[in-house]
């Protein structure tokens, strides 16, 4: 017995001395998870073929060890039973004791499984962190990262970080948003354009120029204390070309096309097309976006397990309320099915929104959970992004009315909701980090921008605002992404305006900010605008109208007027939603009004509580 203790102590000493040479993923795990299986990826020199042993631990067993093509990877398959308690596992490499390591099993937070994801009760605020606020100038550069801060260059790092977001949580709470979606904050150790965030080089570490894992957890906790959830931008489709996997692939098939660049066709229709060739299907899903973003082969079982555990690890670690999944249809669709099943097995009420950038509702609807696809594919994705409505809304406000244009474009887009399994669970927006800002798209027209935001914050679905929309951020004539992702006013030293204090904002910016705040507070107060049944009316005379009605029969009537003059009409055409009620409440003007006739302001909106 004394000999065994001495041997174990020696192994632990060796582990402490040489742990820098051993990298283990995930970084830890939890007891009490639904799925008992856990796979540890061990990356260490010449570890292939080594003999591994788990020091006895109640409720945990080492089932098997797998090796891949590289000499430097081992995959340890553990079983963590329901009886296991939190503590430290000791994994012993009997062939090379210096590569032994400890692995922590943590206790889960109370109620973790039953967390509620974001929903139509929420308003999502999208932030590009590098351009939002620099809360800690000391981390603008880091010795382990190649690219240095360059705030004068539109494509460079400007220094925004997690500390900057944390410092502005009170502002966001007062504005009225309830969910934060940050574009990726994980390590992007790339030589250029690393602020973008989508060329990840370590899936388990926050980029040190953004902060740290601990600071990301702090952001989640401080946001939650203010009633705000945190949505993580997940990128299972690809990684950055400087990721260690490119120099040392665990398996030969870990990266699509053998790790050599072959571009995707972007022919997204091949996923649903009953006539598509296998060549075209593969070229779409397996092809790379660009040479700096190698495409992952999610059909590789070891990689699929790694990506699945990584997603669950972040949910549990940071108490997330959701994922936004980048370039959703570009991933292998059978992997996506299994990936989501595993996530919802652990978190049944979690939410995930997938980016399918198409204006064709039928293509987007293919991916939403609950649909019946003719090819038999079962999708488990709860939420899709409504690019159809986004495009229709901008077109409608930029063109004159006609029998097939203007508000009719919005009406026709919404009329296609029969294709969605759950039209209330789609993400609606005027812009995002990959397109010109809505104020720019609407030709710097303030009244039309207010109309757009009114619709987005009262229509069915889950509204998303892009940071700075509330103060009319604008990319002008440029469509460069660096200009679209403009610095948030007041977030960086040297600026003349501050969106938080209001100092230096133009009158139009102040007006827009106050209007967005008013809309958000109206929406939060009236459940009908969050979950109410939608009835819309065919556009007439530059007017688009719809009602959101709650379970008790009350609701809000929304009327949007593009005309340069006020418009008055008899409300009889909307009697089916107004019923016999004779008076209502003008929510924007905060006064009672008669319902027999309704007057909608010029280039404005009327919101009537009835």
Go through 398-435 and write b for each residue having 16 or more CB atoms within 10 A of its CB, e for each that does not. eeebeeeebbbbbbbbbebbebbebbbbbbbbbbbbeb
The neighbouring-strand residues paired with 561 are 543
Write phi, then psi, for 174 (nearest 5 degrees).
-65, -35
Cβ proximity of 286 and 295 under 8 Å: yes
Question: Cα separation of 26 and 313, whole Å?
Answer: 7
Cβ proximity of 32 and 111 under 8 Å: no
Kindly write down the DSSP assignment for every residue of 425-441, as one continuous string.
GEEEES--TTS--HHHH
Q: Is 608 exposed, middle or buried (0-12, 13-18, 19+ CB in 10 A)?
A: buried
Instruction: Look at the block and give the residue holding tokens 């299907």.
Output: 281
Q: Is 460 exposed, middle or buried (0-12, 13-18, 19+ CB in 10 A)?
A: buried
Please say if 130 is a catalytic residue.
Answer: no
With a CB cutoff of 8 Å and minimum separation 6, the contacts of 283 are: 262, 264, 265, 267
Rounded alpha-carbon distances, angstroms, from residue 29 to 20, 84, 314, 371: 20, 12, 11, 34
Rounded alpha-carbon distances, angstroms, from residue 417 to 48, 361, 534: 53, 8, 11
Cβ proximity of 332 and 301 under 8 Å: no
Question: Cα separation of 586 and 475, whole Å?
Answer: 34
Cβ proximity of 24 and 101 under 8 Å: yes
Rounded alpha-carbon distances, angstroms, from residue 531 to 120, 464, 507, 527, 548: 6, 16, 34, 6, 8
Q: Which of 187, 202, 326, 470 is catalytic?
A: 326
Kindly write down the DSSP assignment for every residue of 541-571, as one continuous string.
TTEEEEEEE-TTS-EEEEEEE-SSS-EEEEG
Please say if 326 is a catalytic residue.
Answer: yes
Go through 149-169 and write b for each residue having 16 or more CB atoms within 10 A of its CB, e for each that does not. bbbeebebbbbbbbbbbbbbb
Q: Which of 332, 355, 483, 487 is catalytic?
A: 355
The neighbouring-strand residues paired with 432 are none
Rounded alpha-carbon distances, angstroms, from residue 496 to 346, 468, 489, 499, 505: 48, 15, 8, 10, 9
Rounded alpha-carbon distances, angstroms, from residue 195 to 32, 209, 213, 567: 37, 9, 17, 47
List active site positions: 326, 355
């Amino acid at each position: 017995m004394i000999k065994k203790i001495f041997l174990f102590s020696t192994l632990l000493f060796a582990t402490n001395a040489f742990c820098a040479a051993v990298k283990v993923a995930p970084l830890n795990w939890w007891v009490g998870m639904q799925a008992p299986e856990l796979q540890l990826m061990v990356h260490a020199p010449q570890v292939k073929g080594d003999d591994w042993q788990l020091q006895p631990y109640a409720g945990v067993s080492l089932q098997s060890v797998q090796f891949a093509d590289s000499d430097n990877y081992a995959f340890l398959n553990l079983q963590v039973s329901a009886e296991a308690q939190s503590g430290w596992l000791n994994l012993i490499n009997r062939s090379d004791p210096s590569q032994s390591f400890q692995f922590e099993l943590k206790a889960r937070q109370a109620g973790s499984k039953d967390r509620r994801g974001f929903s139509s009760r929420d308003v999502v605020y999208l932030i590009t962190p590098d351009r939002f606020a620099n809360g800690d100038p000391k981390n603008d550069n880091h010795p382990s990262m190649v690219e240095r801060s360059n705030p004068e260059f539109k494509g460079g790092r400007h220094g925004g970080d997690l500390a900057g977001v944390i410092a502005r949580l009170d502002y966001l709470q007062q504005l009225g948003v309830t969910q934060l979606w940050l574009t990726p904050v994980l390590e992007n150790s790339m030589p250029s354009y690393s602020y973008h965030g989508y060329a990840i080089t370590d899936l388990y570490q926050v980029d040190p120029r953004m902060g740290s894992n601990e600071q990301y957890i702090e952001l989640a906790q401080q946001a939650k204390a203010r009633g705000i959830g945190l949505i993580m931008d997940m990128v299972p489709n690809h990684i950055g070309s400087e990721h260690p996997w490119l120099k040392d692939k665990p398996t030969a098939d870990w990266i699509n096309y053998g790790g050599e660049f072959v571009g995707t066709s972007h022919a997204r229709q091949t996923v649903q097309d009953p006539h598509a060739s296998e060549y075209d299907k593969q070229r779409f899903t397996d092809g790379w976006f660009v040479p700096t973003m190698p495409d992952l082969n999610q059909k590789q079982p070891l990689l699929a397990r790694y990506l699945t555990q990584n997603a669950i690890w972040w949910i549990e670690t940071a108490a997330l309320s959701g994922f936004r999944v980048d370039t959703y249809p570009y991933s292998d669709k059978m992997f996506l099915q299994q990936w989501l099943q595993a996530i919802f097995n652990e978190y049944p009420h979690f939410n995930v929104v997938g980016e399918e950038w198409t204006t064709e509702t039928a293509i987007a609807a293919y991916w939403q959970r609950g649909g019946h696809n003719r090819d038999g594919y079962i999708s488990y994705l709860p939420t899709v992004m409504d690019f159809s409505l986004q495009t229709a809304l901008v077109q409608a406000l930029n063109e004159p009315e006609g029998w097939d244009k203007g508000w009719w474009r919005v009406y026709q887009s919404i009329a296609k909701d029969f294709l969605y399994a759950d039209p209330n669970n789609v993400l609606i927006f005027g812009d995002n980090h990959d397109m010109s800002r809505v104020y720019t798209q609407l030709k710097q027209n303030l009244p039309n921008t207010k109309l757009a935001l009114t619709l987005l914050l009262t229509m069915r679905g889950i509204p998303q605002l892009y940071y700075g929309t509330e103060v009319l951020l604008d990319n002008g004539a440029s469509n460069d992404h660096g200009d679209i992702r403009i610095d948030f006013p007041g977030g960086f030293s040297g600026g003349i305006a501050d969106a938080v204090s209001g100092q230096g904002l133009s009158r139009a910016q102040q007006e827009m900010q106050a209007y967005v705040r008013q809309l958000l507070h109206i929406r939060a107060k009236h459940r009908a605008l969050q979950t109410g049944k939608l009835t819309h009316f065919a556009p007439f005379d530059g007017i688009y109208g719809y009602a959101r009605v709650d379970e008790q029969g009350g609701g809000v009537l929304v009327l949007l007027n593009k005309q340069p003059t006020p418009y008055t009409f008899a409300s009889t055409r909307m009697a089916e939603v107004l019923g016999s009620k004779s008076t209502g409440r003008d929510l924007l003007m905060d006064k009672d009004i008669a319902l027999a006739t309704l007057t909608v302001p010029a280039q404005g909106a009327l919101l009537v509580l009835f």
